[in-house]
Chains A and B, each alone.
Chain A
C-alpha cells in the first residue's frame, strides 16, 4: 500500500464520494415520495370524487421531492466522470 500517489488518492476519494452521495441521497426522496403516495391514497379513500386532482397533486409533490435525488445523481456522475485527480 506504499505506492499510492496523490492522484490515486483523489480519484479513490471521488469514487467513494460518488457512492456515498447517491447512496445516502436516495434515502430522503425514496421515503418522502412513498409518504406522499400513501397520503394521497388515504385522501382518495376519504374523498374519491377528487381522485384526479389528488393524483396530480401527488405527482407534482413527488417530482419536487425527486429533485434532491437528481442532485445526488448529478453530483455522483460528476465525481465519477469529471474529477480525474
Chain B
C-alpha cells in the first residue's frame, strides 16, 4: 500500500507540473498575440495600402512572442512523456517546481514580448518609412523580455533532471518546489517591465522630430533601462540555484 501510494503521488506531481507549465504558459502569449493582431488590424484599417507590410511585421513579432509558450510546451511534454519509472518523491516535487517555473515565466513573457509588437504595428501604419528601426527595436525588446524565460527554462531542466536522492526528506522536497516558485514568479516582473520599456522606446521614436537620428540613442537608453530591470530576475536565479544546490 505504502509503496504504491508513493509512486501514485509522484505520477500526480508530474501531471500537475505538466498542466501548470502549459496551462499558465499559454495564457500570456494568447492574450498578447491577440492584442498584436488587433493592433495590426487597426493599422490596416487606417492604411489599407500597408496591409502586406503590416501583415509581415505582425507575423514576425507574433512568432517571436510565441517562443515562451513553446518552451512551456517542451517542458510539459518532457514531464508527461518522460520516463518516470522508479522516480522518487523528490523528483516528483522537482517536476511540480519545474512546471511552475516555466509556466509563470512564460505567462509573463508572453505578455511582455507582445507589448512591443502591438505598438510596432501601430507605429508602422502611421510612419511606414520607419519600418526598419521600429522592427529592430521591437525584436531587441522582445529578446531582452525573454531572457528571464531562458533562466526559468534552465531551472526547469535542472529540476527535471534532478538525481534520484533516495534519502531526501521533507525539507528537500520543499526546497526544490521553492526553487521553481522563486524563478517562475521572479521572472514575471522583469519580463513585463522590459516589454513596457520596448513599447515606450517605439513611442519615443514616433515623438521625435527627426526620428532617424534618435534610433541609436533610444536603443541605448532602452537597453540600459532593461538591463537594470533584469537584475531582479538574476537575483531570483541566484536564490533558485542556491535552493537547488542545497538539496
A-side residues, CB < 8 A to B, are: 1, 3-4, 8-9, 11-13, 15-16, 18-20, 22-46, 48, 51, 54-55, 58-59, 62-63, 66, 69-70, 72-73, 76-77, 80
16 contacts between A and B (CB under 8 A): A12-B175, A26-B235, A28-B189, A29-B189, A30-B191, A31-B192, A33-B229, A34-B197, A36-B225, A41-B204, A41-B218, A42-B203, A43-B204, A44-B221, A45-B214, A77-B239
Given A34-B226, A41-B200, A19–B171 Cβ distance below 8 Å? no
- Asked whether B208 is an interface residue with its Cβ less than 8 Å from the other chain, the reply is yes
Which one of B170, B205, B231 contacts A69 once the chains associate, using CB atoms below 8 Å?
A: B231
Report yes or no: B225 in contact with A62, Cβ–Cβ below 8 A: yes
By the criterion CB–CB under 8 Å, are B221 and A15 in contact? no
- Whether A34 lies near B196 (C-beta < 8 A) is yes
Residues of chain A within 8 A (CB-CB) of B236 are 22-23, 26
CB A27 to nearest CB in B, in angstroms, measures 4
Decide if A22 touches B186 in the complex (CB within 8 Å).
yes
B residues adjacent to A (C-beta < 8 A): 169-171, 173-175, 177-201, 203-208, 213-214, 217-218, 221-222, 224-226, 228-233, 235-236, 238-240, 242-243, 246
* The 6 A-B residue pairs with the shortest CB-CB distance in the complex, in nearest-first order: A37-B225, A34-B193, A30-B189, A38-B200, A45-B204, A19-B178
Q: Which residues of A contact B171 (CB under 8 A)?
A: 8, 11-12, 15
A38:B225 contact, CB within 8 angstroms: yes
Are the CB atoms of A26 and B186 closer together than 8 Å? yes
A37–B239 contact, CB under 8 A? Answer: no
Q: Are A29 and B232 in contact (CB under 8 A)?
A: yes
Partner of B221, one of A3, A25, A28, A51: A51
Contact B192 A40, beta carbon cutoff 8 Å: no
Judge whether B221 and A18 touch: CB under 8 Å.
no
Min C-beta distance of A40 to chain B, whole Å: 6
A41 touches B182 (CB 8 A): no
Measured between alpha carbons, how far is A69 from B192 in the docked complex, in Å? 16
B197/A72 in contact, CB under 8 A: no
Whole-angstrom distance between the Cβ of B232 and the nearest chain A Cβ: 4
Q: Please, how many angstroms separate the alpha-carbon atoms of A11 and B247 in the complex? A: 12
Q: Do residues B225 and A34 form an inter-chain contact, with CB atoms below 8 A?
A: yes
Complex interface: chain B residues within 8 A of A3 (CB):
169
Other than the given A38-B196, A45-B218, 17 more pairs (CB < 8 A) read A8-B170, A16-B178, A18-B182, A20-B181, A23-B183, A23-B184, A29-B229, A30-B230, A33-B193, A33-B225, A33-B229, A34-B192, A34-B196, A34-B197, A51-B221, A80-B239, A80-B243
